[in-house]
């Protein structure tokens, strides 16, 4: 599958490596383009080369156009940078978390964070995932050799069953287990400040925590 990743921060880099290693074609981007500096003197193109396995460097628009599935890992407050037109009709994984101290005050209109993103991307098939795990754990805790119940949980939520099934397969391919929290509105239970945000839980532990 062709996967576009918007954002070249820690989560974006970790997902690019894992998904490329799983055999997917991956393009990673930022809003400034392939030759922009992302760290020190390293450009986005350099970063893609460092990750290896054919990962490509793109602008956000080109990454969204490239991907059959798109993962957005940009800070929540920069949601307007997402190229909505190029994401139409595609499964979009929303990894962002809203931190007012970083992102400024944003009126969510009473919506969950991911339902707010879905309103901004009305023709995309949004699934919330990868927002409760650190990049370090993404890099180290996946294990395809473990049974599903013993794998580190990745919480997902969405309103499109087919899109959630596709995201579940990706999660399993990189050695984790998907635990469904429900609809995009139900994704409130996996937002910052909730009991399941952050802890290192197996799938079995995660399902038990959701029942409490």
Q: Is the pLDDT of residue 41 over 80?
A: no
pLDDT tens track for 91-110: 999 999 999 999 999 999 99
CATH number of 2-210: 3.40.50.720
pLDDT for the residue numbered 146: 97
Q: Which H/E stretch holds residue 72? A: strand 69-72
Round to whole Å and give the CA distance between 20 and 54.
8
Tokens at 13, concatenated: 């880099």
Cβ neighbors of 173 (< 8 A, separation 6 or more) are 19, 22, 144
Q: How confident is the model at residue 32 (pLDDT cuts 50, 70, 90)?
A: confident
pLDDT for the residue numbered 34: 87
Round to whole Å and give the CA distance between 136 and 14.
8
Q: Which long-range contacts (CB under 8 A, 24 or more apart) does 13-18 make?
A: 13/47, 13/51, 13/135, 14/135, 14/138, 14/139, 15/71, 15/73, 15/130, 15/138, 16/48, 16/51, 16/55, 17/51, 17/53, 17/55, 17/139, 18/138, 18/139, 18/142, 18/174
Round to whole Å and give the CA distance between 189 and 112.
9
Where do the domains of the chain lie? Answer: 2-210
> How many Cα neighbours within 13 Å face the side chain of 207?
10
> How many Cα neighbours within 13 Å face the side chain of 24?
25
Round to whole Å and give the CA distance between 6 and 196.
25
The reported pTM is 0.94
């Amino acid at each position: 599958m062709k996967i576009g990743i918007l954002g070249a921060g820690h989560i974006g880099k970790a997902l690019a490596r894992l998904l490329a290693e799983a055999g997917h074609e991956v393009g990673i981007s930022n809003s400034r383009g392939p030759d922009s500096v992302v760290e020190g003197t390293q450009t986005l193109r350099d970063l893609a080369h460092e990750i290896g396995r054919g990962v490509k460097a793109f602008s956000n628009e080109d990454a969204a156009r490239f991907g059959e599935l798109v993962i957005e890992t940009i800070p929540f407050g920069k949601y307007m940078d997402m190229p909505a037109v190029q994401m139409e009709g595609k499964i979009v994984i929303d990894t962002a978390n809203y931190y007012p101290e970083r992102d400024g005050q944003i009126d969510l209109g009473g919506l969950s964070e991911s339902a707010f993103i879905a309103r901004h991307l009305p023709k995309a098939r949004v699934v919330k995932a990868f927002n409760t795990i650190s990049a370090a754990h993404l890099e180290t805790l996946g294990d395809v050799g473990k049974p599903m119940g013993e794998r580190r949980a990745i919480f997902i939520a969405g309103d499109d069953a087919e899109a959630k099934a596709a995201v579940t397969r990706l999660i399993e391919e990189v050695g984790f287990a998907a635990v469904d929290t429900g609809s995009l509105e139900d994704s409130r239970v996996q937002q910052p400040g909730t009991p399941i945000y952050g802890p290192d839980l197996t799938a079995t532990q995660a399902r038990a925590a959701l029942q409490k």
